[in-house]
């Protein structure tokens, strides 16, 4: 299934990149731009980012389930991961707002 129509990227390709990143460092906080960077792509319209964030969280949970990581630690880690994504989304929206204001002036 295509997740990003701008870059023609599938769900399986994204999950594979996320798993590779987690194999290198199981406790890193992965963000959408990092996934696309690993694929040699970049966000254009960024309309796929909410789905990409869901895939990062789901794949990270699956990864740690397979690794039999401590469940309590994983719950805290996923909470931090979601907080990080919220911070990125807020920064992205503020930047978009600033650009819109600049073009309106």
Binding region for ligand FES (CB under 6 A) = 4-7, 43-48
Q: Give the count of alpha carbons within 13 A of 54, CB side only.
A: 6
Q: Given the complex with ligand FES, which of 44 and 65 has the nearer CB atom?
A: 44
Q: Given the complex with ligand FES, which of 29 and 33 has the nearer CB atom?
A: 33
Helical ranges in 5-70 per DSSP H: 11-24, 32-38, 49-66
Give min distance, CB of 55 to ligand FES, in A.
12
Give min distance, CB of 35 to ligand FES, in A.
11
The count of other CB atoms within 10 Å of the CB of residue 13 is 17
């Amino acid at each position: 299934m295509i997740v990003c129509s701008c870059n023609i990227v599938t769900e399986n390709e994204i999950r594979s990149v996320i798993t590779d990143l987690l194999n290198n460092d199981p406790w890193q906080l992965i963000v959408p731009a990092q996934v696309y960077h690993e694929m040699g792509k970049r966000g254009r319209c960024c309309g796929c980012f909410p789905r990409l964030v869901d895939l990062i969280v789901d794949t990270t949970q699956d990864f740690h389930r397979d690794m039999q990581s401590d469940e309590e630690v994983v719950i805290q880690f996923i909470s931090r991961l979601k907080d990080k994504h919220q911070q990125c989304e807020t920064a992205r929206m503020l930047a978009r707002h600033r650009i819109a204001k600049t073009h309106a002036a």
